[in-house]
Amino acid sequence: MYLLERINDMVREHGKAVGDAIVNVDTLLNHRIDYTFSAYAGTVLARAVRDQHIDVILTAEASGISVAVFTAMTINNEQWPHPASVVFAKKSRPITLPEGGYYVVDSFSRTKNRPIKLYLGSHVIPPGAQVYIVDDFLAQGTTMAALGDLVLMADAEIAAFGVVLEKTFEHGREELKRFGAPVYSLVKVTSLEGGTLHLAPPSLS
């Protein structure tokens, strides 16, 4: 529980409200990466699924990658010699993904305020894999739901969703209900009223 409380304290200390909808944590995750914060977050997210075997940890580029890597490090310490891979969906299609060699879904970026596409090579997640979807934010749920759709396109299974910061007032969990998988969040932002981050008591539920 100490790590979860420390994560919440770090968000209180470094997070900023931008208007009434955006949380700025660019000195922790989104611009400058605080690897201590990522390590704490990855450790707690890994503990949330410690009773499940995980084959793949999936995120979207780029802010979720550091947390996904630290999540994998903790998971792999416990399920070695069967390590989980880290995979990130790309926001543009590189030439290394030929036509017919990838899955693609539409999503929407809140920070960029525009529609985006997420690409996943058809060779990076094997059919039947148990996939833990991890990302930095859960707001309206569009990105995490898009990642969930990519997992289903790959004929894999969603073990759980894990997120560092959840803006509960945007009800993103509703978008994820259709997948039937548990959702774990480390920091629950209940409002940004008055230009202040208001957080719920720390819990993983």
CATH of the domain at 125: 3.40.50.2020
**Cβ-based neighbour number of residue 40 at 10 Å:** 21
Query: For position 147, what pLDDT does the model report?
Result: 98
Query: For position 98, what pLDDT does the model report?
Result: 87
Tell whether 135 is covered by a domain.
Answer: yes
Render pLDDT for 150-182 as a digit per residue (tens, 0 to 9): 999 999 999 999 999 999 999 999 999 999 999
Render pLDDT for 78-116 as a digit per residue (tens, 0 to 9): 898 999 999 999 999 988 888 889 999 999 877 677 888
Tell whether 23 is covered by a domain.
Answer: yes
Tell whether 83 is covered by a domain.
Answer: yes
Q: Which residue has better confidence, 80 or 49?
A: 49
Q: Sign of the C-alpha dihedral, residues 88, 91, 92, 98?
A: positive
Render pLDDT for 123-155 as a digit per residue (tens, 0 to 9): 999 999 999 999 999 999 999 999 999 999 999
Domain count for the chain = 1
Give the chain's mean pLDDT: 95
In the numeric block, the tokens 């999936």 are attached to 58
* 51 touches 20 (CB < 8 A): no
d(CA 17, CA 2): 25
Tell whether 204 is covered by a domain.
Answer: no
Tell whether 159 is covered by a domain.
Answer: yes
Structural domain containing residue 124 = 2-199
Confidence of residue 22 (pLDDT cuts 50, 70, 90): very high
Give the rounded percent of residues in the chain with a pLDDT score beyond 70.
Answer: 99
Give the rounded percent of residues in the chain with a pLDDT score beyond 90.
Answer: 86
Query: For position 109, what pLDDT does the model report?
Result: 78
